[in-house]
Each structure stands twice: as C-alpha cells, then as structure tokens.
Amino acid sequence: MQDISLHLLDIIENSVRAQAQNVWIDIKIIDADNLLVISIKDDGSGMDDETLKAAQDPFYTTKVERKKKVGLGIPLFKENAERCDGSFLITSSLGNGTQIIATFAYDHIDRMPLGKLADTILTAVLGHEEVDLHLETHRIKTDKEIDFKFSTALIKEELDGVPLSYPDVITFLDQMLNEGIKNTEMEEN
C-alpha cells in the first residue's frame, strides 16, 4: 500500500465483512512526542484468539472468494508501523468487535504519508452507507490542540432519510471532510 489512508480503507472493509454497524477512526499527531497514532475500532463480530493470531499472518485470509489464502492488509500495516519506530496492537473478542492501534514516529524517513484521507473516508462512507463511520482527527501542538469530528450517524439524523449518496450530500460531505482534515493540519506535502 502506498499510504496510510489505504490501510484505513482495508481495515474498514474488514470491519464491514465482520458485520460492524459502527467503525470509529481516531488519528492523532502529537508534535511533542513525534507521534502519529491511529486507532480503528469496530463493533463487528470480533475474532477468537486463534483467528486473531492468524489475522497477523500474511498468508491467512477469511475471504473465501480468493483462490489463494493470502491476506496482507493487517500484516503490512503492522510491518509499516514497526519499521517506523512505532508499535502495533490488535485486540478482539467474539461478539465485541476489534480494535487496532498503530503508532509511527511521525518524522521517520520510512513512514508512509497519510495520503488523501478525505477521499478515503468519503469512499468508505459511500461504499457502505449501512455502516456508521465516526472519524476524529487531532493535531496536538505545544500551544494548542486542533480537533475535527465527523459522524455519519449524526449526518444521517439531520438528513432525515435523504441518502448519503445523493449528489448534493456527496458534495457537502466532500467539502466537510476536506476542510476539517485541512484545519487539523493532517495534510502532508
């Protein structure tokens, strides 16, 4: 994968396959600690201990439509975090969903860029309107903290039945995501 936002999309897809109704994504850049922290949590079916261990194996997948059993998403995400002086933790239990927390040294030369985070989130929202996606971004500087919160559950409530895929709504979501992410200084050149 070329950037972190594509890892996020892969994990969101895993959550959807696990029948999650909600996916929470929290992204923090903590300048004082030189950290990028990404947390993805869902309320899907979760995994037992054996499946949880296997999910970190690059030669394991739950996708039955594939001819070869290969699932690189989680192992690559783990490898990318650990290669950048970071860490990777995945926890899960049956019936209680899954959580992944990946940390990266923010200025590490090998850290992938965040990528087009707004585009990735919009793609996930439009591809899975049945799932409520909750995004928070935080830029924590020594003198201030800048936050952005986005929740399709709240937006759906306001739309009162108008689908997220309605053209005017897509335009609104795109602008909201791009402005919010830009304001939290998540964009990288």
51: confidence class by pLDDT, cuts 50, 70, 90: confident
At residue 30, the 3 state secondary structure works out as strand
Residue with tokens 């999650």: 20
How far apart are the C-alpha atoms of 113 and 62, rounded to whole Å?
A: 28
60-69 long-range contacts, Cβ below 8 Å, gap at least 24? 62/17, 63/17
61: confidence class by pLDDT, cuts 50, 70, 90: low
How far apart are the C-alpha atoms of 124 and 36, rounded to whole Å?
A: 22
Q: Which of 92, 74, 73, 76 is nearest to 84 (CA)?
A: 76
- Edge to edge, the sheet with strand 132-140 lists 87-92, 98-105, 35-42, 22-30, 132-140, 145-151
Q: What pLDDT sits at residue 2?
A: 87
Q: What pLDDT sits at residue 53?
A: 85
**Domains within the chain, CATH numbers bracketed:** 4-183 (3.30.565)
Tokens linked to 40: 């993805």
Average pLDDT over residues 91-112: 96
71: confidence class by pLDDT, cuts 50, 70, 90: low
How far apart are the C-alpha atoms of 4 and 112, rounded to whole Å?
A: 6
Q: What pLDDT sits at residue 62?
A: 56
How far apart are the C-alpha atoms of 60 and 51, rounded to whole Å?
A: 9
Q: What is the pTM of this model?
A: 0.90
Identify whether the C-beta of residue 132 lies closer than 8 Å to the C-beta of residue 152. yes
How far apart are the C-alpha atoms of 2 and 65, rounded to whole Å?
A: 25
Q: What is the pLDDT of residues 105-147, one digit of tens each?
A: 999 999 999 999 999 999 999 999 999 999 999 999 988 899 9
